[in-house]
Amino acid sequence: MANHKSALKRIRSNFKRRLRNKFQHKTARNAIRRLKESTTKKDANKQFPAVISMVDKLAKKNIIHQNKAANIKSKLAKFVASL
């Protein structure tokens, strides 16, 4: 356990940040999953911008790496185009 007051505060703030990051990451993964499950092009095109926006925000906040975000967006764009 930490001994310094600032270290205790850091532990609390890290915990809050970890929960927030986990929530945002899981929400984006669920959105990607829903997009991949869509069968009509109209539905996929409707969901696509929101999912891309979520992935971009994750990359901007360093929750995921920028190259991983680019990979996800590329694969999703290819999927939507193939419908």
Q: Which of 81, 69, 83, 70 is nearest to 25 (CA)?
A: 69
Write the single-letter amino acid at 75.
K
Sequence-distant (6+) residues with CB within 8 A of 32 are 51, 55, 72, 76
Question: How many structural domains are present in the chain?
Answer: 1
Does the residue 70 lie in any domain? Answer: yes
4 inside domain: no
Within a domain: residue 43? yes
pLDDT in tens, 62-80: 999 999 999 999 999 999 9
* pTM for the predicted model, two decimal places: 0.85
Q: pLDDT tens digit string along 15-50?
A: 999 999 999 999 999 999 999 999 999 999 999 999
Which amino acid is present at 41? Answer: K
**8 Å CB contact between 76 and 48:** yes
CATH of the domain at 76: 1.20.58.110
